[in-house]
Amino acid sequence: MEGKPKKILIADDEPDILEIISYNLSREGFEVYTAKDGNEAIERAKQLHPDLIILDIMMPRKTGVEVCEILRSQPMFQDTLIIFLTAMSDEASQIKGLETGADDYVNKPISPKVLVSRVHALFRRVNNNETGKTLKLGNIQIDPVKFMVSIDGQEIVLAKKEFELLYLLASRPGRVFLRNEILSQIWGNDVIVGDRTIDVHIRKVRQKLGVDCITTVKGVGYKFDI
Amino acid sequence: MEGKPKKILIADDEPDILEIISYNLSREGFEVYTAKDGNEAIERAKQLHPDLIILDIMMPRKTGVEVCEILRSQPMFQDTLIIFLTAMSDEASQIKGLETGADDYVNKPISPKVLVSRVHALFRRVNNNETGKTLKLGNIQIDPVKFMVSIDGQEIVLAKKEFELLYLLASRPGRVFLRNEILSQIWGNDVIVGDRTIDVHIRKVRQKLGVDCITTVKGVGYKFDI
DNA sequence: ATTTTGTGTAAACATTAGGTTAACATGGAA
DNA sequence: TTCCATGTTAACCTAATGTTTACACAAAAT
């Protein structure tokens, strides 16, 4: 199964670097966005919820380290991967960076090939998610192979999108999925649908299941709970 | 750090390096084992099931890359973390290494400090999938993934802003956050809200938690304390 | 080809929880 | 006292979500 393209945000004040990295990463099938300083990085991160953020350390209007700290202090960026770029092989700041919560560290001058493979390595590890297993949660069974949901043995027919939605949420019970996440996982990043579309599907699932197992976290997203 | 100590296996043919790394990692509380060539590395890996394996690329009786490939082909080593050490900043082998399934890559000459922080960063990343980012402070648990707070197992529902506020304060217990800091972290720099807004949210959190864990530092800000 | 059925999306509207404000209360320090 | 910073409360307003209906489109059935 082809996953949806990952979103990557790159922040650097040097346009050349921005372009080289963008080019190489989009060629790999990533969806690349850019920012040219710290504040813009934060702003765009909040809109986009990228899967990975590549931060130059030395940037105007907030350094990469500062940006990282600010984002990491917010719950919704706990899962976001962060890679630092730095001109100096300055050991101290390298350590500082990693302790701040970065996931990797790449020295300039940047080799596009190396960067690309590090990015892949990061995603490979994170992506090792469960796939295609039958979920059993309380009295609810969700079988992605048979494309079937049953409650207490009673079968329920869901439409494709409804099923995908339920399966996504149920794959990590309790975990809150942001609307953005849901969109990019189920619809893909490039597809544009209206704001109410998710709600409508959520409603249908709730209605069909009868059981109240999807909780709304207002301003954030939805989660599966029993 | 809680939980059982992590097991780390180090494979290198230079005794000096082995010793330096072992020393530094065991000082950090890791359980360290060593191997002096590729075959020994595989053997010990099978006995020990380490959480992390640090492999020198250039080793007699199977290179690090070969060891990595062999281990990765077995299901039980799918999740094991692997770091490569290399003498050269040889780009080609670096890429090869990462594509082979390594999780990180460190160049020689090795700085113990850098290695140690990379190791920590790796574990943090992996641990994060479950509980790493959950804050546990006394009897209070704050789980940003589930967007949920519980005291003595009793779940408490917070609104978004309330949760963000609590999470921010609790992320650095004892540290005082200035009102300005709080504003810029949670509301953003451009948003303007009245003076009382923070107080009101603080109040709601205090009220909902029941426990008195947010202290006012008059004229300065707020801090989380138990 | 035509009809039927089901799905996904949009648009319009209803509803509510969350966030903010404003007005007033308190309490400590100078 | 008089200030000033923060606490408290309740009313208000809005953004976010819920709900319903309608329609386009495709697949299946006729």
Per-residue pLDDT tens listing for chain B (226 residues):
455 788 999 999 999 989 999 999 999 999 999 999 999 999 999 999 999 999 998 888 988 888 998 888 887 888 888 998 887 666 666 677 677 778 887 877 778 888 888 888 888 776 655 555 788 998 999 999 899 999 999 999 999 999 999 999 999 999 999 999 999 999 988 889 998 999 999 999 999 999 889 999 999 999 999 8
CB nearest to A218's CB, from B120, B146, B159: B159
Q: Do A113 and B95 touch (CB under 8 A)?
A: yes
Distance CA A146, CA A124 (A): 27
Q: Do B114 and A125 touch (CB under 8 A)?
A: no
**A16-55 b/e with 16+ CB inside 10 Å = b?**
ebbeebbebbeeeebbbbbbbbbbbbbebbeebbbbbbbb
pLDDT tens column, A24-50: 999 998 999 999 999 999 989 988 889
Chain A residues with CB within 8 Å of chain B CB: 39, 46, 70, 73-76, 78-79, 91, 94-95, 98-99, 101-105, 111, 113-114, 117-118, 120-121, 124-126, 128, 174-176, 217-220, 223
Least Cα separation, residue B205 to chain A (angstroms): 16
Question: In B, which residues are within 8 Å of A99 by CB distance?
Answer: 117, 120-121
Shortest CA distance from A178: residue in chain B: B145
pLDDT tens column, A199-225: 999 999 999 998 899 999 999 999 999
Task: Write phi, then psi, for B13 (nearest 5 degrees).
Answer: -90, -10
pLDDT score, position A175: 92
**pLDDT for A51 beyond 80:** yes
Q: How confident is the model at residue A153 (pLDDT cuts 50, 70, 90)?
A: confident
User: Where are the domains positioned within chain A?
Assistant: 7-127, 160-224
Pick the closest to residue B104 from A81, A21, A122 (CA basis): A122
Q: Do B120 and A114 touch (CB under 8 A)?
A: no
Q: Do A94 and B104 touch (CB under 8 A)?
A: no
Architecture of domain B7-127 in this structure:
3-Layer(aba) Sandwich (3.40)
Q: How confident is the model at residue A1 (pLDDT cuts 50, 70, 90)?
A: very low
Sequence-distant (≥ 6) Cβ neighbours of residue A116 within 8 angstroms: A24, A25, A28
pLDDT score, position A220: 94
Sequence-distant (≥ 6) Cβ neighbours of residue B209 within 8 angstroms: B140, B149, B151, B156, B166
CA A215 / C1′ C19 distance in Å: 20
pLDDT score, position B1: 46
Q: Which residues pair with B215 in a beta bridge?
A: B223
Question: In B, which residues are within 8 Å of A104 by CB distance?
Answer: 104, 121
Shortest CA distance from A225: residue in chain B: B146
CA A193 / C1′ D24 distance in Å: 15
Question: In B, which residues are within 8 Å of A121 by CB distance?
Answer: 98-99, 102-104
pLDDT score, position B182: 94
Q: Which residues pair with A148 in a beta bridge?
A: A143
Tokens linked to B40? 């020994």
Pick the CATH number of B161-224 from 3.40.50.300, 3.20.20.10, 1.10.645.10, 1.10.10.10: 1.10.10.10
Question: In B, which residues are within 8 Å of A118 by CB distance?
Answer: 98, 105
Shortest CA distance from B185: residue in chain A: A70
Q: Do A98 and B79 touch (CB under 8 A)?
A: no
**pLDDT for A74 beyond 60:** yes
pLDDT score, position B117: 86
- Verify if strand D has an atom below 7 Å from the CB of B61: no
Q: Do B160 and A70 touch (CB under 8 A)?
A: no
Query: Which of A144-148, A191-195, B59-63, B157-161 shows the highest mean pLDDT?
Result: B157-161
Nucleotide nearest to A202 (CA to C1'): D18
Q: Three-state SS across A71-121?
A: HHCCHHHCCCEEEEEECCCCHHHHHHHHHHCCCEEEECCCCHHHHHHHHHH
DSSP letter (8 states) at residue A51: S
- Residue nearest C27, CA–C1′ metric: B218
Least Cα separation, residue B28 to chain A (angstroms): 14
Q: Do domains B7-127 and B161-224 have the same CATH topology?
A: no
Question: In B, which residues are within 8 Å of A41 by CB distance?
Answer: none
pLDDT tens column, A125-138: 766 555 667 888 88
Q: How confident is the model at residue A2 (pLDDT cuts 50, 70, 90)?
A: very low
pLDDT score, position B110: 79
A&B contacts, CB < 8 Å = 92
DSSP string, chain B: --SSPPEEEEE-S-HHHHHHHHHHHHHTT-EEEEESSHHHHHHHHHHH--SEEEEESS-SSS-HHHHHHHHHTSGGGSS-EEEEEESS--HHHHHHHHHHT-SEEEESSPPHHHHHHHHHHHHHHHHTTTTTT-EEETTEEEETTTTEEEETTEEE---HHHHHHHHHHHHSTTPEEEHHHHIIIII-SS----THHHHHHHHHHHHHH-S--EEEETTTEEEE--
Q: Between these two residues, B165 and A4, which has the higher pLDDT value?
A: B165
- Verify if strand D has an atom below 7 Å from the CB of B206: yes
- Verify if strand D has an atom below 7 Å from the CB of A215: no
pLDDT score, position A226: 83
pLDDT score, position B90: 62
| Pair B48, B24: CB distance under 8 Å | no
Question: In A, which residues are within 8 Å of B127 by CB distance?
Answer: none
In CATH, A160-224 is 1.10.10.10:
yes
CA A75 / C1′ D28 distance in Å: 47
> How much is the mean pLDDT over chain A?
87
Distance CA A68, CA B123 (A): 18
